[in-house]
A and B are shown apart, each in its own frame.
Chain A
Amino acid sequence: MKKLKFLPWLWTILGFLYFFVPLFAVFLFSLHGKKDVLSFAAYDHVFHDPQFLKTFGFSLAMSGFTILAGLALIVPTAIWIYLRIPKAKPLMETFALLPFVIPPIVLVFGLIRTYSKPPFTLVTSPVLLVAGYIVLSFPYIYRAVDSGLRAVDLKGLTEASQSLGAHWGVTFFRVILPNLRTALLSAAFLTFSTVMGELTLAVMLAWPAFGPYMALVGRDLAYEPAALAIISFTLTWGSTAIIHAVTRGLGGEDSGVAGTH
């Protein structure tokens, strides 16, 4: 087996080179904001750009709404299905595949066609954007909650809680949800990193979000986009680190099929 050891190292190193050279290059680029010296000037420009603060704040708010509304919609549904109608599980699995079958560009096309004329004129309302984001993050949220549910003895817990006299509101908020804490947190951060850099829906529905802002800056400036790429990567990396920290020991993580590429 000894002679085989060389190849695994070679593929791993080549792979990591491919992964890290672009990151290094964009980081190096981002330090060139000032002529002839390495500096964080480009970051300074970005942080002082009122448009940056505005669009970043907008996307932050949208991801907050998406997380709240998405969890409020999906968590009770997943629990209800788990407890009362397991028959509906395949249906949910099918819905979880839909964001892959209907890519964001087609989804937004359909949303615009459906909601740009009466009786439901929603295209100018952020409700439509948040709804679209819930569709995009539905697979992540559903799978995280589903694997969280499988890890706890939900039936035993609800029965115990109710035989102690708790009615179902108490059972839901004080027994079930705390047991799903890690699943909910990882769902929230997956949603956060999906929404923060999202471009397709925001561009097509004409919202001043962070994704379109990055694209716009990329067209006009040279070094600031590199700084934005680093900021964006740090956000994604940070969310992933948090997810890993909270789900440690939960086992079995799902890689979502749908993406927002």
Chain B
Amino acid sequence: MRPPSRFPHRGMRSPGAKAWFGILPFLLFAVAFMLLPAGNILVGSFQDGKGNFTLKNILNLARPNIVRSYMVTVQISLATAAAGCLFGFLMAWAVIKGGLPKWVRAFLTTFSGVASNFAGVPLAFAFISTLGRMGLVTAIIQLVFGISLYDAGFSLYSFWGLCLTYLYFQLPLMVLIIEPSIDGMKREWREASENLGASNLQYWRYVALPVLLPSLLASFILLFGNAFGAYATAYALTGGLLNLVPILIGAQIRGDVLHDPNLGYALALGMVIIMLVCIMAYSALQKRASRWVA
């Protein structure tokens, strides 16, 4: 027979060390498959081929091809985060506050849930069918305007083509994360500012934007990180033509393209640090933003 109450009653003193044994399996898993691999990347970044401590790998990150790789990845992340934030916000605002039928919003939210996960290989195929050399939109533009996109210098497999493709999961993600903040914008604020004689512009300048700014910044950072870590879409679309950091790491894993395994770890470490900064800034801004959503 077990004692009648294995679980403490409300208001009992905080549990002792024994309670932590209950989550030991999970902690062991987390150490083995999250912390240990991450720690090994960190350690590897500061080792030479023989396992001795060195700063050479970190210094080697200043190599022109690696700097270029980080630059392209940052640019693509900035561009798709900015466009995703702008258009995602406009769309979310339109369906929530624009007086559209309710089902439009319900549909957009559901669709965004799907589309923000619709990435990788299938997404690449969808855009090849749309804007590839034989794509539908490419053909329509040729037919209607007589312009050949590819002769005009556009390519789906280039920087801007990849941006356009990334936007397909960036925009819905923005819709999903900004919706609660837009919901938090109270109608009374608008009415109050109108009663005080504020114009539409003044309402945005002095009320709406200041309230929304932390959320918008937080979303921007999250979208930035989301694009920065993306591998599958870029791999499927460009097959490694574009020298993004995740692509470079992938090539390094498959065949040591850097001819220096430890430089590969430093490359991955740089990526983790960027993501870490992103998530910390995101959490801090979210905390600030939550003041308004009471």
Contact = CB atoms under 8 A, between A and B. Distances in A.
A73 B29 contact: yes
Given A22-B129, A29-B129, A101-B272, A218 B121 contact: yes
A81 B23 contact: yes
A155 B108 CA distance: 37
Q: Closest 3 CB pairs between A and B?
A: A8-B98, A110-B37, A103-B229
B125 A113 contact: no
A102 B270 CA distance: 11
Given A12-B91, A134-B29, A261-B226, A7 B98 contact: yes
Q: Which of B40, B120, B226 has the most CB of A within 10 A?
A: B120
B126 A25 contact: yes
A95 B30 contact: yes
Contacts of A261: 119-120, 166, 169, 226-227, 229-233
B168 to A, nearest CB: 7
A259 B116 contact: yes
A73 B30 CA distance: 11
Interface string A66-89: 000000011011001101110110
Given A76-B22, A233-B118, 11 more contacts: A19-B172, A22-B127, A28-B136, A101-B276, A106-B271, A110-B39, A132-B33, A162-B4, A168-B6, A218-B124, A259-B173
A26 B128 CA distance: 8
Interface in B8-53: 8-10, 14-15, 19-20, 22-23, 25-26, 29-30, 32-34, 36-41, 44
B176 interface: yes
B119 to A, nearest CB: 4
Q: Is the interface of B mostly helix, strand, loop or mixed?
A: helix
Given A105-B249, A199-B235, A229-B126, A19 B33 contact: no
A5 B117 CA distance: 31
A211 B34 CA distance: 23
Contact of A21 (B38, B136, B231, B235): B136
Q: Which of B4, B166, B230 has the most CB of A within 10 A?
A: B230
A189 to B, nearest CB: 11
A197 interface: yes
A188 B230 CA distance: 23
